[in-house]
Amino acid sequence: MELLRSNLSRVRIPEPTNRIYKHECCVSFETPRSEGGLFVDMTTFLAFGKDYVGWNYEKTGNPVYLHIKQTRKVVPEDRPSKKPTLLAIGVEGGFDNNEPQYEETHNIVILPDYVTFPFPSVELPEKVRLTVDAIIMAEGAERKEQLAAWTADKKHVSAYAMNLPQIGNDVIVPPSGWKCAKCDKKDNLWLNLTDGMMLCGRKNFDGTGGNNHAIEHYKETSYPLAVKLGTITADLEAAELTMGTYCGSSDVFSYPEDDSVVDPLLAQHLAFFGIDFSALQKTEMTTAERELDQNTNFDWNRIQESGQDSELIHGPGYTGLANLGNSCYMAATMQVVFSTRSFNSRYYINQSLKTAFEMAPADPTVDLNMQLTKLAHGMLSGKYSVPALEKDAEENAPISTTIKQEGIPPRMFKAVIAASHPEFSSMRQQDALEFFLHFLDQVERVNGGSSALDPSRSFKFGIEERILCPSGKVGFNKRLDYILSLNIPLHEATNKEELEAFHKLKAEKISEGKDVSSDEIVRPRVPLAACLASYSAPEEIQDYYSTAMKAKTTALKTAGLTSFPDYLVLHMRKFVLEEGWVPKKLDVYIDVPDTIDISYMRSKGLQPGEELLPDGVPEAEVESSNPVANEDIVAQLVSMGFNHLHCQKAAINTSNAGVEEAMNWLLAHMDDPDIDAPISQGAHGNEVDQSKVDTLLSFGFQEEIARKALKASGGDIEKATDWIFNNPDASVSSDMDTSTSSSKPTSDDTELPDGGGRYRLFGIVSHMGTSTHCGHYVAHVRKDGRWVIFNDNKVAASVNPPKDMGYLYFFERLDS
């Protein structure tokens, strides 16, 4: 005990703002249920597995740790059923997920000799007891971040709550025995707060949930608010309202606002229907809880290669990633990325966990290099790629093997990679392409642009656009990119006859009032070669300003690659905008061969005998870019005795807002050292109204693209939006360099990997759903001579890889 007392100065009682990690090691995927348990540093509150806690002691000198170990409880009925009930209405406590229960033990351990003291114990110093109690009682940082992401969109007070009409039709809602007024549903029930109708909620995408009667009632009546029965807890609600805060434990939904909201008068609205607010007990999940539960536990096996008798695979390189809730876009992408030599070498073969930990800052959970190394070792070592076993609690012996491995949860990696991106830090489904580009951008930043370390360079290549104007002179636009985004030319379908026959059949069935069966549907089949040819084909540019002709004309644009990367990623533009900006997913198959040769797509640059277009910009643009002062404002200021040049500057710098604004600026800047300098021509030509940029950002566009579009469209938001959609190549580039009117490659271009144009397909990220922001993503990777499906935590030999259904195709270069 004296040893412990001598180290009390290294023990810190956690404060409410401290993040406490106690569910997962920060450098591995060890948990309290692992063989060695988990060690929580009682100074920093970081957690470490048994094999890694010594590294932390060596690095920090912190000697005192709380050891947490969870062992499965010995309960006679502790054999989970084959189909566990995730939500049990009426079960004491409200939930019964039938999962095995674990018993948690705690000890105080002092390094380096692992001297152990049992906890609880009255002999322990009070400071130690208080610290351990605080750690045990605290919500772990891992779980805290997950819940925070789900409830990131804070509830607001409904605009309809304060003046909500309630119809006095003597409706009395009983305290129990609830049932939908239009069907037999007894759970997922919503009480309309205007007329007291009890109706079932929406039907989920998997067929569960309600029958949409509540929302149908709103469409018929326009009664705006409904509360989910069973989600109100009187003590929580009263406490929150009394303290002036509201965490939203009850589930109130506003149909016109299409969101979960706060109803400050909920008790009053419920009392109208005879509901005793104080007698209500929480028996149902809130929407956030249900959504978290469904997204975390949904069995994605029914979506991709379901029913196939596929061989499950375990071992190094075959580790699944647990779904964190709508995280399949990330899991699918990372499985393919870490199948490349560049990322495998950088974060696994050539970098040990210990090296990454020693290089990491004080908190390794926020270091991308550390978390990428942790993820790489977790996925590639095979340590966690083992069959999940169900054990008999009494005999502690394996009794069966589940259909798939548990997989590793990439929580810390997701938290770090998404820290600078509001969408990826949420629990909503995202576009795998956008995540891939964001991921590579972050990897490039963290490696400081070092070509020796940066594995993202293996995906980067140069693109050169060649513009030929009628004068015979040429211009070049260059940029760097990570992906080749391809349009799908439906007119190049190879099964046109079958399509025509199908459309005739479909028309006949519709005229007869019949539906076309799934077996009868025929989809266009477009060769990948046609998509690549479409990218390289000459394209007319209308109203192109030729600096040689000093006039607008029609030019021809062709595009080619200045370098061939180690790994070529092809993005299929399956999502298009129809008239009225209605998004649509093309229902099409892409015939993708195992190998392709894109040698013909290499850009040739300036050819002998060709002449470059002279530098310059349209005269109209030059004129419009020059700042112009409002002469009325200038005249009024001059009449007051101010210098004419100074007055012009005042008007320009206040955007000609008015005489008062210009005078205020003038009085504040009269002593500026450059006040008498001539007005710089074009000084304001590149400025963009930030409010307009913010408007485009709210549409989901990148800031760089938004600014570029506003500059190209004279600050008109509508024209800028059109420009973005008409220049899709710009919208998918991430921090790419651009140069114009030069055939010389940029400095970065010369340092990129390059080789021949022959490639072999090795990875596919496929998407199922009507939008990139919903549905499901699955990865197929060619490993050890066979195709493997990575469907979250399911890893199996692929029976039928969807080569014709990919959203992203990954190719590796065959020759150098």
Name the binding residues.
Answer: 180, 183, 200, 213
Q: For residue 620, give both structure tokens.
A: 């109209």
User: Which residues pair with residue 244 across a beta bridge?
Assistant: none
Q: Which of 328, 469, 531, 647 is catalytic?
A: 328
Give 312's DSSP letter: B
Residues 16, 138 contacting (CB under 8 angstroms) = no
Active site residue 469: no
Q: In which residue are the tokens 């390189």 written?
A: 317
Answer yes or no: are the C-beta atoms of 629 and 647 closer than 8 Å.
yes
The verdict on whether 647 is a catalytic residue reads: no
Q: Return d(Cα 555, Cα 546) in angstroms, integer.
A: 8
Spatial distance between the Cα atoms of 12 and 9, rounded to a whole number of angstroms: 8
Nearest to 502 by CA among 482, 530, 524: 524
Tokens, residue 135: 């750690």
DSSP secondary structure letters along 516-555:
PPGGG----EEEHHHHHHHHHS-EEEEEEEETTTTEEEEE
Q: How far is CA 83 from CA 80, 293, 297, 578, in A?
A: 8, 15, 12, 43
Q: Are strands 794-797 and 198-200 parallel, antiparallel or unpaired?
A: unpaired
Residue pair 685/625 in contact (Cβ under 8 Å)? The answer is yes
- What's 615-645 look like in SS3? CCCCHHHHHHHCCCCCHHHHHHHHHCCCCHH
Picking from 278, 264, 332, 266, the residue whose alpha carbon sits closest to that of residue 303 is 332
| CA distances from residue 380 to 331, 333, 376, 436, 588 in whole angstroms, order as listed | 14, 15, 6, 20, 34
Instruction: Write b or e for each residue in 56-91: b if 16 or more Cβ atoms lie within 10 A of its Cβ, otherwise e.
Output: bbeeeebbbbbbbbbeeeeeeebeeeeeeebbbbee
Please state the residue numbers annotated as binding site for Zn(2+): 180, 183, 200, 213
Active site residues: 328, 776
